[in-house]
Amino acid sequence: MSLGTDTLADKIGLWVTLVGEKRALEAELRPVQDQLNKLEVELLDDFAEAGIQSVNAHGMTVYLNREFSAKLKEGVNKQDAIAAFERAGLHDCFNLAWQTMKGIVREYQERDEPLPAEVAAVVDVADYYRLRSRKA
C-alpha cells in the first residue's frame, strides 16, 4: 500500500491491521522471551563459575555485557540532588534528567575515578551483567 496516495481511511485501516499483527507476534514471542530470561540467569551463574567472558557456539558469540544503573537514593528528592551536583562543580545538571545523571556517572567510571562525595551521597550506582550475543 502506497502511503502517498492512499486515503486517510486506508491509512488508518492499515495502521489498525499492522498494530493487530504486531500484538499477535508479541504475544507469540512472550513465551520465548520468558525462556530466555530464565536461561540468562542460569548462564550468568555458569559464566561466573567457569570464569569466562564469552563463548562461540553455533555461529554466535555469547558474551557478558557489563551494564550499570544510576538512580537517586531512597528519600533523595530531585532538588537536593541538583544542589549536590552543583556543590560538586557539575553546574550543567540544572534539570538532572535521568540520562544526564547516568552519563555523568559513566564518565567517572570510564576515567576510573570515584564520584565526588556530594554526588555519591545522593546517587546509588549498581553494576550488573547481561548476556548478549552477536554473529561470530
For the stretch 88-111, pLDDT in tens is: 888 666 666 667 788 888 889 899
Q: How far is CA 98 from CA 27, 63, 79, in A?
A: 30, 27, 13
pLDDT at 2 over 60: no
What is the pLDDT, as a whole number, of residue 66?
A: 92
Grid cell 486515503 in the structure block, residue: 7
CA–CA gap between residue 98 and residue 7 (Å, rounded): 41
CA–CA gap between residue 122 and residue 73 (Å, rounded): 5
Q: What's the chain's average pLDDT?
A: 90
Per-domain boundaries in the chain: 8-52, 62-135
Residue 84, all three cell numbers = 549536590
Mean local confidence (pLDDT), 40-46? 97
For the stretch 6-37, pLDDT in tens is: 899 999 999 999 999 999 999 999 999 999 99
CA–CA gap between residue 95 and residue 82 (Å, rounded): 7
Quickly count: other Cβ atoms within 10 Å of residue 106's Cβ.
Answer: 13
CA–CA gap between residue 62 and residue 56 (Å, rounded): 6
pTM value > 0.85: no
